Amino acid sequence: MIHPQANAFIQTCVGPGFTIRQISGDASFRTYYRVVLPDHKTMVFMDAPPDKEDSEPFVQIAAFLGKHGVGVPQIFHADLKGGFLLLEDFGDVTLLEALNQGQNPRMLYTRAVENLLQLQATPKDGQCLAHGRPYDRALLDREFALLTDWTIPKILQRTITDSQRKTFQSCFDLIIEQVLRQPVVLVHRDYHSRNLMWTGDRLGIIDFQDAVMGPITYDLASLLRDCYVAWDRPFREEITQVWLRGAGDLLGYMPDEKTFVRDFDFMAIQRNLKAVGIFGRLSHRDGKHGYLKDIPRTMGYVRETLAAYPELTPLADLLIHFGAMEP
């Protein structure tokens, strides 16, 4: 049941006679409700407690992306002080659920890549809050630390020695140096099958409030090395080629194959290990244990990728040693 202030906000915006029911929460402190108006039209009410969630980035980035035709929800009303927003309703079907319902994967992922390219092609004009947030070495380091600060010691309950920590860091530095050489674009930062909504004729993008300016392969790695769904190599390569053709046309990005594969693989390792670290933190700190079941799938991608890079063997050995990855 929503609290009186939230109910008053909705009534002020849409008038009386609406009904409301909770539809979901997510990995944050935000809660979502569907508001049904007397004429049966719907909106989504987002309750984001201001002491735990800052909604201003969501509102500002949504306005920028919407202005440039990216498929994000329209914001009808916002009260940032109260943490209340009324949004366009994209429905309940994520890309992941659409796949489970039998929708064509090639069609869905082609749409997802087209949407991603549109997001990446938005102008770097300083008009988006994300333009002032670089995906720099410090941020990449903090994300890697999630694995060694949370999942290994708190979930796997293993102690990392100073020597092992240095080995981790030297491998992380190799990966960071590689990904920071990439061209920089707007990065959604969580572009995957649970943050894309299938409306029946288009894919809508949600959860973009943490967007930054960063490596061009990041969101593609997030989509194709998805923690929540596993695809075989041929399908991933097919969709990658769709993105590469579009990236050449829209972004002027035409790397040689060797450079692209290495850039993408190193980015995917970083993304996947960050996710495993977040899953550990969500479980230990926030009591959200359901994400732990996604770790084996995610580490399966890491295992596959590390096998191709001898210089990262020390990282693979440590992950196996701590039980984070199968041999």
> What pLDDT does 317 receive?
98
CB within 8 A of 282, min separation 6: which ones?
A: 27, 288, 289, 291
For the chain, which domains are there?
4-88 (3.30.200.20), 95-321 (3.90.1200.10)
Average predicted confidence (pLDDT) for the chain? 96
Task: Please say if the pLDDT value at position 1 is more than 80.
Answer: no
Task: Please say if the pLDDT value at position 262 is more than 70.
Answer: yes
Poorest-pLDDT segment among 3-7, 64-68, 162-166, 267-271: 3-7
> What pLDDT does 3 receive?
83
Task: Please say if the pLDDT value at position 174 is more than 70.
Answer: yes
What is the largest distance, in Å, between two alpha-carbon atoms of the chain? 65
Strand locations in the chain, DSSP E?
19-25, 31-36, 42-47, 75-79, 84-88, 184-187, 196-198, 203-205, 212-215
Which is higher by pLDDT, 294 or 23? Answer: 294
> What pLDDT does 25 receive?
60
Compute the distance between CA of residue 309 and CA of residue 263 in angstroms, rounded to an integer.
Answer: 12
CB atoms < 10 A from the CB of 152, how many?
24
Cα separations (Å) of 159 from 27, 285, 323, 327?
A: 27, 18, 12, 20
**Dihedral sign computed on CA atoms, order 202, 62, 264, 194:** negative
> What pLDDT does 30 receive?
85
Per-residue pLDDT band at 26 (split at 50, 70, 90): low
Poorest-pLDDT segment among 44-53, 124-133, 186-195: 44-53
Helix (H/G/I), strand (E/B), else coil: 181: coil
Task: Please say if the pLDDT value at position 188 is more than 70.
Answer: yes
Which of 195, 200, 225 shows the shortest CA–CA distance to 210?
195
> ∠ CA(251), CA(254), CA(256), 5° rounding?
155
DSSP string covering 6-25, please? HHHHHHHHH-SS-EEEEEEE
What does the pLDDT look like over 221-243, one tens digit per residue? 999 999 999 999 999 999 999 99
> What pLDDT does 24 receive?
73
Return the percentage of the chain with pLDDT > 90, whole number.
95
Name the β-bridge partners of 197: 94, 204
> What pLDDT does 27 receive?
56
